[in-house]
Amino acid sequence: MEGGELPGLLVNEIGGICGILHSHVAFLRKHFYLITMKELLENRKHLSRKVQAIYLWWHKPVIDRELLQSLPNLKVIANSGVGMDHLDLKLVASFGVKMANAPRAVCSSTADAGMALLLASARRLVEVHHIAISSSMDYCEADILGVKVSGATLGIIGMGRIGYKIALRAKAFEMKILYHNRTQRKAQEEQAVGATYCEKIDSLLQQADFVMVAVSLTPQTRNLIGKRELELMKPTATLVNISRGAVVDQEALVMALQTGVIWAAALDVTYPEPLPRDHPLLKLKNVIITPHLGIKTDKTTYMITEEAVENILAALNGLPMPSEVLPS
């Protein structure tokens, strides 16, 4: 089947674990001639020159030098999310290929997921759910007590778009909000959510009842939360990670949870994903783990695809890309 005048868009697959969603296909086909990796590999001679853009869904297809060299007309790569740590940005740029992420689409759903994890951990929802459905359930023990969220102190590490959305939600729960960021927010932005800037991360860790990590994974943020940082936290504190698994030293986290250095953890991200089935984090009662669900709602995923299409079409038409990412 020939693609006509539509530009070729390479995707990993349609459906499956790492494929674009079936519900997005009709929308994408209005703008592009879709080519899957399987089709490209089976007919590289005919299809490689047709590919002008790549849409990454769940980090697939893998972008390496071999693939870039095989696509002479590639102009742009759009990512289905914010984090770009799975891409060698300098390598991609060296081929004259532009890159974009989807920051606008993901913020609200990721912030929702962060607050959901915070609340579920604070009120021990997973643990008490299993008690409630147990065949031997007569009553809930009187000492199955959670942590009061209203009035507690939330420390947000990374006050970008997602971090700020978290602060908006935390304000509604009447939480005291601290934040640490590379740059301080404007005074009116701080006042709108009642947030206080902590220039040093140590100050935030020492004060917070809940620490929520919402940074991008970079060489500077890898293992940002390690043994030293965990030991600065209160023994009653909870760590919530919605950024990337490698931002937290997981061995140090396991030890901190096992020895009472901190009270609990709630993780939407791990390293690797999924964890090996014998990993100690999977055996701890004071841990909640979800399989990277931050963006996974029907509306959000569709908005991500819309944002990707907007960026790709802008690049192909020589216009500024709304969410262009440049190599640092």
Chain-centroid distance, C-alpha 149? 23
Rounded to 5 degrees, φ, ψ at 263 are -80, -40
State how far the Cα of 79 lies from the Cα of 295, in Å rounded to an integer: 13
- Pick from 103, 122, 128, 154: which is nearest to 294 by CA? 103
DSSP state of 275: P
189 is catalytic: no
> Both tokens of residue 275?
């964890």
Q: Are 58 and 86 in contact (CB under 8 A)?
A: no
Q: Which residue of the set 273, 279, 306, 307 is catalytic?
A: 273
State how far the Cα of 166 lies from the Cα of 172, in Å rounded to an integer: 10
273 is catalytic: yes
Q: With 0-12 CB in 10 A as exposed, 13-18 as middle and 19+ as buried, what is 140?
A: exposed
Q: Which residue of the set 24, 180, 185, 292 is catalytic?
A: 292
Q: With 0-12 CB in 10 A as exposed, 13-18 as middle and 19+ as buried, what is 46?
A: exposed
292 is catalytic: yes
State how far the Cα of 101 lies from the Cα of 85, in Å rounded to an integer: 11
Q: Which residue of the set 169, 244, 307, 310 is catalytic?
A: 244
Q: Give the 3-state secondary structure of residue 4.
A: coil
Q: With 0-12 CB in 10 A as exposed, 13-18 as middle and 19+ as buried, what is 242?
A: buried
Active site residues: 244, 273, 292
